[in-house]
Structure 1
Amino acid sequence: MNVLENEIQHAISGLAILKIQLRVVLLFPFFFIGHHFRVCFQARAFLKPSFRSHNSMAAFTVRVELLPSTPGKEANMATPAPALKVVNTPRKKMTKQLTGKRDDTPLHSVARAGNLEALKDIILGTDEAELHELLAKQNQDGETPLYIAAEYGYVDVVRDMIGYYDLADAGIKARNGFDALHIAAKQGDLDILKILMEGHPELSMTVDPSNTTALHTAAIQGHTEIVKFLLEAGSGLATIARSNGKTALHSAARNGHLVVVKVLLEKEPGVATRTDKKGQTALHMAVKGQNLEVVEELIKADPSLINMVDSKGNTALHIATRKGRSQIVKLILGQKEAVTSAVNRCGETALDTAEKTGNHDVKDILLEHGVQSARTIKPPQGTPATTARELKQTVSDIKHEVHHQLEHTRQTRKRVQGIAKRINKMHAEGLNNAINSTTVVAVLIATVAFAAIFTVPGQFVDDPDNIPPGMSLGEANIAPQAPFIIFFVFDSVALFISLAVVVVQTSVVVIESKAKKQMMAVINKLMWLACVLISVAFLALAFVVVGKEEKWLAIGVTIIGTTIMATTLGTMCYWVIRHRIEASNLRNIRKSSLQTRSKSISVSAFSDSELLNSEYYKKMYAI
């Protein structure tokens, strides 16, 4: 009995051990999957939703080991089954292994989401060399993690990051030419800009490919506080010009940012007379805009700006006149320093410019203030130098006019050709639709004509034992009547015409547009004939169906049908003939245009326009 009990107990122990081992084996995959989802969920908490889940493993790598039981010991309930152990392994080359759809590294994603804790985890868990590479890594848009954090306005993230950046990496430019400081200046984020400047004050001197500083960027956008802060960091920034020669004052004046203009003039008064590569001052730029106060501020800063000329000899009054800024013109004319008789290199005063542009309001203002034309104030002529200068100016004007005319003609021809190409495509599509519709109608008429022969009223002779005299088995009872003969002939001809059209449509492939139109014209006439024949067949059979007593009904239908068909076909014939005449006239115009093209450019352009108006603006035509 004791032996039996021991055997039973031993078997129960074995089953228990087996149960535990099976439980471990079965639960192992679920444990691993659950742990993986937990890791992904925790990682996604600080990642942007669009970032892929495989990037969520960027913060750490998990290795699962199966620990065997102690050898030499007999398995029992106290002996643990193989255990699972999770080991954190060092991160290796995250910059190369884990990237998002924009080539974002985990640090890019953390910066985009603004998760400070995740940022600290990545920085603290990465060695110095790897961290330097990670911070300087650029995505597809050339953006570093610092750039992204500055763009999204995450102050704390930028504050933590900037301490790990050296000047070279902090000044890395994205593909748009901006670094982190420029993007902060553009967006008006003063807090971010202060943090970046505290970390690396030299960033204020960085420029984009067009030599634009962060000060210039802020001045364009009108961010006054940022302009003040950058000027306090270094007033020399106001004198740095872009590659086109424009300073921050030029751009602020052009965009009408009054407070920015005041700040720049207060910090660097001498920049008011700086000129760009076109010789224009900030006042020239200001009068192009519509902010009267900016113009007043610049004149107040240096009244001599009023009479300064650009490379073409234009004063601010010339520019304001050409732009039609009547209030600014009044303001300039009201200044005692203004010289109203200034003549530019085209030999024009402000009044001549107003007449040239056709701005009558500005012209009236100029006349009220006594501004004269260059023809009135021009000095006596006759000297060789004056004559040569006038001749040179005349030749220059002619060359300019010819060039303008040639360019206008080229643009007109290009526009005409583009429209013609588009409408030719529409014509081809319309022609193809007409061909397809004709095929369907031809099949429909053939089907109706074929079925009509076997569905005539009055039935057929179908009793072999009772055949009327003069008739045969299967013959229609109304066959001897004249209306049936008319019906049979016209219906048969309509059937065969429709079948012929179907054969042609399904067998012939036409590529060239002109040949396609010719084929369509023939097919259309055949379809007209088929419609007329099927109509006559219908009317002939109508006289049989209504009987002799109701013959007036058939006559009425015949009159109505004949009127409708005659009107329709007559109208279509009119449009076909008209289209043929217009096409003939169009060919004559084209021939005359080709003959005169070598003689006159303007006539050629006119002919093309006439051609376009006559041919391509048609919304419909008959073939």
Structure 2
Amino acid sequence: MTKQLTSKKDATRLHSAVRAGDFELVLEIINGLEDGELKDLLSKRNQSGETALYVAAECGHADLVKEIMKHCDIVLAGLKARNGYDAFHIAAKQGDLEVLKILMKANLELSMTFDSYNTTALQTAASQGHTEVVKFLLEKGSNVAAIARNNGKTALHSAARNGHLEIVKSLLAKEPGIATRIDKKGQTALHMAVKGHNVEVADVLLKSDPSLINMVDAKGNTALHIGSQKGRLQIVEKLLNDSGLNKLVINKSRETALDAAEKNKLSDIACILKEHGVQSAKSIKPHPANSARELKQTVSDIKNGVHYQLEHTRKTGKRVQGIAKRLNKMHVESLNNAINSSTVVAILIASVAFAAIFNVPGQYVDSPSDISPGVSPGQARIAAKLPFMIFVVFDSIALFISLAVVVVQTSVVVIQRKAKKQMMAVINKLMWLACVLISVAFLALSYVVVGKDERWLANLITGIGTVIMVSTLGTLCYWVIVNRIEASKLRSIRRSSMTSGSWSLPTPYTSDTEILNNEHKKLYAV
């Protein structure tokens, strides 16, 4: 086959001579150059990316191809034009068997070249219907028929789609198992054949592998679905006459072949389908033939669901950990505030207790003229009374407890939160005791201040103070006990979950979740 001569931009003198088929001029150019210069010239391309060898193969000049190949290696021979074809590929497309034989004789590896879509020369020749070229390439190539393009289609797909019967037979004879190969749409060569018009191609494919008739593509369509959609009357009749045909296959669009024909308003095909017992999807249930695909889909859905749940759990755990860190920070800050407050209160109680011991009612005996028998100078005038003795003892104990708390708070540095919480619990109990002692000291001294005639007032003050202190300390004790009980329950739950054989979330997530579950506790006593 000779291609019509057209001039191309950036064409060298050699390009023009080859395109014109001027053998003498080509020889003159080749013989007039050194090896290095000749290789540079042979590798030069025109605007379309074509080398001189490509032009010779495209134009069908076998003698020029033979001469140029004497000076070309595999790299030069395999240079591709902008269309993705090399010299061998374009010769296969043109169906020029003589040029292909010359190129193949020079280098067998040229038959395995492919374009940007992974299309081999065999696939190109098969799609163009060049039977002799296909047979020649099949003889020279061991497994070239099994090579697929980027879209998954083999040479058999292309030949079947275009209705090239002899090529289909040759491909099946070389590679019998290629009939069941599917492309990226899940379609076999039979799916492609029913898109064409050649009934014999479909018949040959069915004879090579009868199972093809019920194979479905990615959309769940069988060959009968495709033929009904495309309006291929003769092919549909051929398929319906096959005894192995499953007439009740429903695709993913919930359509049978009859539904597809009626949807495309192909009444003649719809009538034939009805005559052969094909029903609509509404009148039948999905055929068990799809059970394997449905099972696969179910497994895939479960897998995706599990993956989503794991990913969701991971993200949730990450958010929970972030919240837990903020809660821990707030907890530590609260403990620090409580410690600072305890220090201030301890200093206040110590100051009050120290000042009260030297500012008693009635003052002290300081005048020599007022000293009674058995009384020493500086002695409190009420020192002999029982309420004063109670005051002195309790006030002194409160003073020393407060001083001890101040010394501990200012001397001990605690970093760990648990240790800080334990220290705070001890200090709180000491401060409770100091508050009780200073309260008792105040109430005892009130009996001296009001005198015997107004003792009822002291009793009233004692009653009010007792109620306030008992209710306050009782509430605090209740909170402490409740907090201890809840903490004990949480520890028991953790131990049981760790020892049980049931599956659970990882430990960090569990502990953080427990922290969040206890977030409702706005306060607690330690």
TM-score, normalized by length of structure 1? 0.45
Q: Which residue does 2:354 correspond to in 1?
A: none
Q: Which residue does 2:192 correspond to in 1?
A: 285
Deviation digits for residues 458-497 of structure 1 (CA, Å, limit 9, x no counterpart): xxxxxxxxxxxxxxxxxxxxxxxxxxxxxxxxxxxxxxxx
Q: Which residue does 1:418 correspond to in 2?
A: none
Residue 160 of structure 1: how far off its partner (Å): 0.5
Q: Which residue does 1:212 correspond to in 2?
A: 119
Give distance in 2, aligned partners of 1:50 and 1:325. Answer: 41
Deviation digits for residues 30-69 of structure 1 (CA, Å, limit 9, x no counterpart): xxxxxxxxxxxxxxxxxx9987xxxxxxxxxxxxxxxxxx
Structure 2 unaligned residues grouped into runs of 5+: 288-293, 302-526
Query: SS of the counterpart of 1:132?
Result: helix
Give distance in 1, aligned partners of 2:286 and 2:125. Answer: 48
Give distance in 1, aligned partners of 2:286 and 2:137. Answer: 51
Amino acid at match of 2:141: G
Residue 343 of structure 1: how far off its partner (Å): 0.8
Residues 238-253 of structure 1: pairs in structure 2 closer than 5 A: 238-253=145-160
Structure 1 unaligned residues grouped into runs of 5+: 1-47, 52-100, 393-623
Runs in 1 of length 4+ with deviation above 6 angstroms?
48-51
1:342 aligns with 2:249: yes
Higher relative contact order (CA 8 A, sep 6+): 2
Give distance in 1, aligned partners of 2:116 and 2:62. Answer: 27
Aligned partner of 2:259 among 330, 344, 352: 352
Deviation digits for residues 401-453 of structure 1 (CA, Å, limit 9, x no counterpart): xxxxxxxxxxxxxxxxxxxxxxxxxxxxxxxxxxxxxxxxxxxxxxxxxxxxx
Q: Which residue does 2:94 correspond to in 1?
A: 187
Q: Which residue does 2:327 correspond to in 1?
A: none
Aligned partner of 1:111 among 3, 11, 18: 18
Deviation digits for residues 533-589 of structure 1 (CA, Å, limit 9, x no counterpart): xxxxxxxxxxxxxxxxxxxxxxxxxxxxxxxxxxxxxxxxxxxxxxxxxxxxxxxxx
Give distance in 2, aligned partners of 1:50 and 1:209. Answer: 25
Larger Rg: 2
Give distance in 2, aligned partners of 1:359 and 1:306. Answer: 21
Residue 235 of structure 1: how far off its partner (Å): 3.1
Aligned partner of 1:377 among 272, 281, 284: 284
Give distance in 2, aligned partners of 1:49 and 1:237. Answer: 32
Residue 314 of structure 1: how far off its partner (Å): 0.4
1:330 aligns with 2:237: yes
Question: Are the counterparts in 1 of residues 181 and 188 from structure 2 also a CA contact under 8 Å?
Answer: yes
Deviation digits for residues 347-383 of structure 1 (CA, Å, limit 9, x no counterpart): 1111111221111101110111111111111269xxx
Provide the alpha-carbon RMSD of the alignment.
2.3
Aligned partner of 2:54 among 125, 147, 157: 147
Q: Which residue does 1:160 correspond to in 2?
A: 67
Amino acid at match of 1:188: G
Q: From the superposition, tell whether residues 159 and 282 of structure 1 become closer, same or farther in structure 2 (CA, over 3 Å).
A: same
Deviation digits for residues 310-366 of structure 1 (CA, Å, limit 9, x no counterpart): 000000000000011111111001011100011111111111112211111011101
Give distance in 1, aligned partners of 2:181 and 2:213. Answer: 14
Give distance in 1, aligned partners of 2:181 and 2:80. Answer: 28
Q: From the superposition, tell whether residues 49 and 177 of structure 1 become closer, same or farther in structure 2 (CA, over 3 Å).
A: closer
Give distance in 1, aligned partners of 2:229 and 2:48. Answer: 41
Q: Which residue does 2:275 correspond to in 1?
A: 368
Give distance in 2, aligned partners of 1:167 and 1:260. Answer: 29
Residue 135 of structure 1: how far off its partner (Å): 0.6
Q: From the superposition, tell whether residues 103 and 164 of structure 1 become closer, same or farther in structure 2 (CA, over 3 Å).
A: same
Query: SS of the counterpart of 1:363?
Result: helix
Q: From the superposition, tell whether residues 152 and 306 of structure 1 become closer, same or farther in structure 2 (CA, over 3 Å).
A: same
1:310 aligns with 2:217: yes
Aligned partner of 2:178 among 258, 271, 277: 271
Aligned residues: 289
Amino acid at match of 2:240: L
1:221 aligns with 2:128: yes
Question: Are the counterparts in 2 of residues 235 and 268 from structure 1 also a CA contact under 8 Å?
Answer: no
Q: From the superposition, tell whether residues 125 and 221 of structure 1 become closer, same or farther in structure 2 (CA, over 3 Å).
A: same
